[in-house]
A and B are shown apart, each in its own frame.
Chain A
Amino acid sequence: MSCRSHSYWFAALLLLAGCSTHAHTLREPRELFYDNQLASAHSKLDKLSSKRRSDATVIELDLAMVDLLRGDPETCQQRLRKVRDKWDHDEQASASESVTAMITDDQRRAYHGEDYEKLLVRVFLTLASLMKDGVDAESYTLQILSKHEQLQQRADGRWGESARHAYRPPPIAFYLRGVLREATHANYDDALRAYQSTAEMLPADSFVNHDIERVSHGVHSAPGNGVLYIFSLVGRGPHKVEVAEQATSDALLIADRIVSAVGKYSVPPTLAPIKIPRIVSPVKPFDCLQVNVDGQTMGYTQPLTDVQLLAAQTFEAKVPEIMARAVARRVVKKSAIYVAKDQLNASAPLASLAMDAAGVAWEATESADTRCWGLLPREIQISRVELPAGKHDIQLSPAIAGRVSSPTSSRIDIVDGRNTYMLSYWPSLSPIGSAQISGQR
C-alpha cells in the first residue's frame, strides 16, 4: 500500500469526524439567563442565532424563553411558531441525513426536537398568547392535544404498546383548555371534561378536584369578582448530557475481537465507548410558592406538570433506537476499515495497525447528540385565586418544608368576570426578571 493511499484514507476519515457537543457553546448564555442577566443572555444567544448552526432551533427556543421573561410575548410567540413549523417539516425522514449520520454521528441530522419538547413548544405558545391577548390560546391548547395524539400513534407504531404509558400528555394541556373554556361562562361541560382529564394524570386528592366541583355545580366567579391564575415555572429543567454506554461498548469489543481472530483482516477494536445522550435535571430549589394578596395568605402554588418526568418517560422509550443507531454506526465504520484493508491489501502488520488506529480515531470522534431546549423549567405549578375586581398587591414567596423565603411583589388589576394570568420563572429562590402579567403592557 502506498503512502499516498494512506493519506487519502486519513483525509477521508478526518472529513467524516463528528462534531463537538453544542452544550459548551450554549453554556455561557444559559448561565447568564439563570444569573438573571437577561439582556446579556439575549445578546449572546442572538449572536449565536445569526450563524448557520445545526442547533439553530434550540437557540431560537432559548431566545423565546428570554423574550417571554423580558415582557415580549409577541416575539416569543413568533420564535416558537417558527420552531414548531420547522420541526414539523424536519421530522420527516431524510435519506441524505441518515447516510451522513451513519458515517459521522447523530448531530449531523437536522434537530427536530424530542417529543416532550414538541409538546412543550405548544404549551409555551399557549402561555405566551395568554400573556399577550389570548387570541390564539385556545388554538394552541388544541394543537398540544392533537400533536400528542400524533406522537402517541407514531410511538405505538415504532416501539409498540409499551410506549403508550410513556406518552401521556402534559396535564397542563388539559388544564389550560379547562381554564379557557370555563372563562367563557358558557362552556362548563368542556371545562369539566378537561379538568377530569387533568385529574386522571395527577394524584387522587389533587387541587383539580376543586375545579371539577366548581364547573359541575358552580360558576366561574361570584358577581363582581375576577380570577387570577398564577403560573410558576420552578427549578432548572431537563437537559441532555453525554454518557458512555460501557456494557454495549464491552460487548462490541468482544465481538470485534472474535471477528479479528477468525477474519482475514483485523477490525478496529472498540476502545472509544459508545456515547448516547441521557436526560438529567437538577433538584427543585423549593416545594412551592406561598401566595399573599393584600397581606393575606391565599394559598400555595400546586404542581401541575412535572417536566422532568415527561421528558424522562418519552425519551426512555426512544433510547433503544438511539443505541441501535450507535451500534449500527460502529459496525459500518468497522466494515469500512475492513474493506479498505481488503482493497489496499493491507496485510502488513504496520499498515494494518495504522488503519486500525485510524479506525479507532474515527470512532472516537463521535459525540452524543445533546441538543435540547435548555431553559425549560423542572416543574410547572399553578394557583387559582378569586378576587374582587380592582387593583391588588400580590406577593410570592418560595416555601421549603413550611419555611417561607423573602417575597417578591407585583401589582395586578383584576377585571370583573375575567381571568388574569401571572407568570414567573424560579430556577432558584429568586425569580428571573419580574413576574409577567397578562394585558398589562
Chain B
Amino acid sequence: MECSQWNRLCLLACLALLASGCRGYQYGHLIKNNQPDIVGSHTAGAEVYNPLIDESVSRLLGTQMVTAHPAMLGPDGLPACRTVCFVGVENKSAEELGDFKDQIYQQIDTQINRSESFKALSRRMVDAALQETRLRPDSLLVPDNMRLFTSVLQRDGQPVDYLLYATLTSGTTERNSSTQRDYLLTLELIDTRSGTFTKEQASIRKGYHQTYLGKALNYNPLKAWK
C-alpha cells in the first residue's frame, strides 16, 4: 500500500468516524397554547385524546343541560348540582394507553367539575368504595351491585345521581403499508334512580404510513380538491 493511499484511507476513516457524531445533551421546550400537539408516529397521543375529550364532554354536558330533567332544588331554592360518579376509562382500542389513561380520567373529571350543573365525586372516594365493596367497575350496573355501591358512597356523605363510564374504542383499516385508525371516545351517563342513560361520542381518524410519501399517496390533495 502506498503512503498516499494510506493517508487517504486515514482521512476517509476519520471523516466516517466524525460523521458518526459526538454525544449531545437532551433539551426540552414548552409548547405554547397556540402551538399544535406533536403527532404520534406509531400510536395516538395528545393530538387525538385531547380533542376527543373536549368534544365528547362538551356534547354530554350540552345534552344534559337541555334534557328535561326535573331539577332538584337545593336548600337555597336554587337547582342543586347533580352528582356524577366517574367510574373509569375502559380501553377497548387496539393500543395500549400507557400513561394517558389517568390523564384522560383527570381531564374528563375536571371538565365535569367545571360545569355548573354537575359535580364529580373525588376519585379517591370512588376507588375506596370499589375497594371496600370489591365490585368490578363493569359490574356496577347489576341492580344489587349498584345499590351496594351507591349506599357505601351515600354512607360517606356522597350521594350519587349518575354513574359515568368512558370507553375508548378503535377501528383499523389497512391498505398495504398504510393504516387508518378511527378512535372513538364514548361517554355513558347512567341515572342511578331510573336506570336511563345518555350517550355521547366523539371520533377522530388518523393515518399511519411507513414511508414519507404514504400520506401523499393516500390523501392526494389534488384528488381532494376535485
Interface residues of A (CB under 8 A from B): 89-90, 92-96, 98-99, 139, 142, 145-146, 184-190, 193, 219-223, 263, 332, 335, 338-339, 342-343, 417
Note all chain A residues with C-beta closer than 8 A to B135. 219
Bound complex: CA A30 to CA B134 (Å)? 46
Chain A CB within 8 A of B92 CB: yes
| Nearest B residue to A92, CB-CB | B23
The reply to whether B131 and A417 contact each other, CB–CB distance below 8 Å, is yes
- Contacts A219-B134, A339-B1, A343-B3; A187 near B23 (Cβ below 8 A): no
The reply to whether B22 and A95 contact each other, CB–CB distance below 8 Å, is yes
- Contacts A95-B22, A342-B3; A187 near B127 (Cβ below 8 A): no
Contact flags (1/0) for B130-171 with A, using CB distance below 8 Å?
A: 111111111000000000000000000000000000000000
Bound complex: CA A127 to CA B126 (Å)? 28
Size category of the B interface is 35 or more
Chain A CB within 8 A of B222 CB: no
- Contacts A98-B17, A139-B99; A186 near B6 (Cβ below 8 A): no
Note all chain B residues with C-beta closer than 8 A to A188. 136-138
- Contacts A93-B20, A95-B21; A186 near B137 (Cβ below 8 A): yes
The reply to whether A92 and B24 contact each other, CB–CB distance below 8 Å, is yes
The reply to whether B101 and A190 contact each other, CB–CB distance below 8 Å, is yes
Q: Name 9 interchain pairs, CB-CB below 8 A, sorted by A.
A: A89-B26, A90-B23, A95-B20, A99-B14, A145-B98, A186-B127, A186-B130, A187-B101, A219-B135
How many A-B contacts at CB < 8 Å in the complex? 81
- Contacts A92-B23, A98-B20, A193-B96; A335 near B137 (Cβ below 8 A): no
Bound complex: CA A223 to CA B134 (Å)? 6
CB distance from B13 to the nearest CB of A (A): 8
- Apart from A94-B22, A339-B3: 9 A-B pairs, beta carbons within 8 A: A93-B21, A94-B21, A185-B131, A187-B88, A188-B136, A188-B138, A219-B135, A263-B1, A335-B9
| Nearest B residue to A94, CB-CB | B23
Chain A CB within 8 A of B91 CB: yes
Chain A CB within 8 A of B191 CB: no
Interface residues of B (CB under 8 A from A): 1-3, 6, 9, 13-14, 17-18, 20-26, 87-88, 90-92, 96-99, 101, 126-127, 130-138
Note all chain B residues with C-beta closer than 8 A to A146. 98
Note all chain A residues with C-beta closer than 8 A to B26. 89
Note all chain A residues with C-beta closer than 8 A to B2. 342
- Contacts A99-B17, A338-B1; A222 near B22 (Cβ below 8 A): no
The reply to whether A222 and B134 contact each other, CB–CB distance below 8 Å, is yes
Note all chain B residues with C-beta closer than 8 A to A223. 132-134
Bound complex: CA A332 to CA B2 (Å)? 15
Bound complex: CA A263 to CA B2 (Å)? 11
For B3, B18, B20, B133, the residue with the greatest tally of chain A CB atoms inside 10 Å of its CB is: B20
Note all chain B residues with C-beta closer than 8 A to A95. 17-18, 20-22
The 8 closest A-B pairs by CB, nearest first: A93-B20, A92-B23, A417-B131, A185-B130, A339-B6, A95-B17, A219-B134, A185-B131
| Nearest A residue to B91, CB-CB | A189
Bound complex: CA A263 to CA B92 (Å)? 69
Note all chain A residues with C-beta closer than 8 A to B87. 186
Bound complex: CA A352 to CA B84 (Å)? 90
Bound complex: CA A186 to CA B131 (Å)? 8
Bound complex: CA A225 to CA B26 (Å)? 46
Note all chain B residues with C-beta closer than 8 A to A142. 98-99
| Nearest A residue to B25, CB-CB | A89
